[in-house]
Amino acid sequence: MGIFDKFQALSATRRDLEALGIDPFNVQIDRIVSPTEGIILGKPTILAGTNNYLGLTFDPEGIAAARTALENEGTGTTGSRMANGSYSGHRMLERELSAFYEKREAIVFSTGYQANLGMIAALAGPDDVVLLDADCHASIYDGCRLGGAEVIRFRHNNPEDLAKRLRRLGARVANTLILVEGIYSMLGDRAPLKEIVDVKREYGGYLMVDEAHSLGVLGERGRGLVEELDLLADADFIVGTFSKSLGGAGGFCVSDHPELDLIRYSSRPYIFTASPSPATIASTRHALRTLAAGTHLRQRLRENADHLHAGLTALGYTLGAPPSPVIAVIMEGKIEALKFWDGLLKRGVYVNLMLPPATPNGVSLIRCSVSAAHTPEQIDAICAAFADLRTAA
């Protein structure tokens, strides 16, 4: 046995893709024209697979803020938050996040992935229990592995199954962390958060909600599903990312627990990773202010999501969930999904292809993500490409 033998199955899958002449996982965007358009394979392409929910990546004021930080503070921190990488911008962003969520404490990580990795691994150790929704993101699973807690999955969006498993834990519930997401990234469905909170209130435990795909999308001020359902006070920890609605890179956690500050001294992904660049922090702070200031972008995003969802439904496609910025079309199999994805790209529409084992229940998905920056004409063009492929089939 050699160190590379474990990759044989992956290598065989790669050869199958090469035989089809389709490589969906190595697409190069030659040039970004706008939040919703790029040049791929030499031609203009509508970007409908970027998670750029509010379209803020080209916001002029955000770019100006990043440029100023770049000129005044340089290209990077070259160190971790604990060493030499906590600049004034990092601290100000943490204060602004805690104020935005009306929470006591906030902590900023270098990526959204590391926010989950760092928080879960620090909170849930070998003597603790993690109860997580089966469809949770890979970063949540990896955080559980790093911390070494006992991991118990409950059926996706099933509060009754969660209650049953909490009941079995007895006194160990006091050392249990419950993990769910606001909007799930694959199908775009929402957690039944009110029912999950009811279960938590009855049996105990701590609740962490990952709002990566619902920050900027749900709630009166864009604070996610916890706000939309008036459950901000019931989430012990809210984690999220800057790489979706805020158009940058980085992650965070907010909490009313004063012990959150101790995570800085116990979270390996926080302690040993270089902190976000000043330019990234500056653009994120501006994007957060934009999000907090108004609802017009969220309204436009909802209209675009409803538009695309209705169009694809009218064409007879099977969709994974009600309208949200994530609209997933369920395909019959891998080969069909591969060819369909390639057909969309050739028609000037870039989306995400999701295949097992990364997907729920072993399905293959054509995953679209909608932006507030998409024009109605672009949504119509996406629907037209789907219609053309429907006719071709």
* N-to-C CA span, the chain: 45
- Residue in 369, 337, 379 with CA at minimum distance from that of residue 354: 337
Residues in the chain: 393
Strand 31-34 to 206-210 pairing: unpaired
- When mean pLDDT is compared across 15-19, 107-111, 114-118, 284-288, the lowest value belongs to 15-19
User: Span 223-231, mean pLDDT?
Assistant: 98
**Mind listing the pLDDT tens digit for each residue in 281-337?**
999 999 999 999 988 999 999 999 999 999 999 999 999 999 999 999 999 888 999
What confidence score (pLDDT) does residue 294 get? 81
What confidence score (pLDDT) does residue 21 get? 85
Catalytic annotation, residues? 185, 213, 244
Q: Confidence class of residue 1 from pLDDT cuts 50, 70 and 90?
A: low
- Residue in 363, 255, 375, 247 with CA at minimum distance from that of residue 308: 375
User: Span 164-187, mean pLDDT?
Assistant: 97
Share the mean pLDDT of the chain: 95
What confidence score (pLDDT) does residue 362 get? 87
What confidence score (pLDDT) does residue 97 get? 98
Residue limits of CATH 3.40.640.10 in the chain? 60-293
User: Span 338-359, mean pLDDT?
Assistant: 94
pLDDT above 90 (res 34): yes
pLDDT above 70 (res 383): yes
Q: Confidence class of residue 266 from pLDDT cuts 50, 70 and 90?
A: very high
Residue limits of CATH 3.90.1150.10 in the chain? 11-47+295-392
What would you report as the CA-atom Rg of the chain, rounded to the nearest whole angstrom? 21
pLDDT above 70 (res 109): yes
State if pTM tops 0.85.
yes
**Mind listing the pLDDT tens digit for each residue in 131-153?**
999 999 999 999 999 999 999 99
What confidence score (pLDDT) does residue 393 get? 61
Residues 371/53, Cβ–Cβ less than 8 Å: yes
CATH number of 11-47+295-392: 3.90.1150.10
Helix (H), strand (E) at residue 153: strand 150-154
Match 């295949």 to its residue by tokens: 355
pLDDT above 90 (res 15): no
pLDDT above 70 (res 374): yes
What confidence score (pLDDT) does residue 180 get? 98
Helix or strand or coil: residue 212? coil
Percentage of the residues of the chain whose pLDDT score is greater than 70: 99
- Residue in 205, 203, 223 with CA at minimum distance from that of residue 214: 223
User: 60-293: what fold?
Assistant: Aspartate Aminotransferase; domain 2 (3.40.640)
